[in-house]
Amino acid sequence: MDWQIVFYIDEKGNEPVKDFILGQPDGAIAEILHVFKLLRQFNVTLGMPYVRKIDRSGIRELRIKHGSDIYRIFFFAHVGRKFILLHGVLKKEDKISETDKNLAIQRMNNCKLRP
């Protein structure tokens, strides 16, 4: 059975990663959806060049290249065979900002506290 991909929902009902994805060009959305399919199919065994572990927090980054653009979507594996998508960014360099990483960790911790 494939894993589910679930968008993080904040306290106001917003889905920031879904909004981020829908704001991208059609070709980029298609590439993002293709990589989502790979993630569902290969789950935690999917590695580079698509998935990289960030640190010991449990956060991973989904790496999607479209043309010269590089998209990063931060996520974590949650109980019930779910990947929770926490935060998305368009990157021009390989280094992850502490702000982006901390926001993803904050959202992950928020998810874990919910029933």
Domains belonging to the chain, first-starting first, are 4-113 (3.30.2310.20)
Q: Using alpha carbons, list the distances in angstroms from residue 88 to 42, 64, 92.
A: 21, 11, 13
For residue 65, the model assigns a pLDDT of: 92
Q: In what order do the strands lie in the sheet with 51-53?
A: 4-7, 82-91, 69-78, 60-66, 51-53
The first and second tokens of residue 73, run together, are 């979507």
Per-residue pLDDT of the chain (115 residues; tens, 9 = 90+): 678 999 999 989 999 999 999 999 999 999 999 999 999 989 878 889 999 998 888 899 999 999 989 999 999 998 888 999 999 999 877 778 889 999 999 999 998 887 6
Write down the pTM of the prediction.
0.90
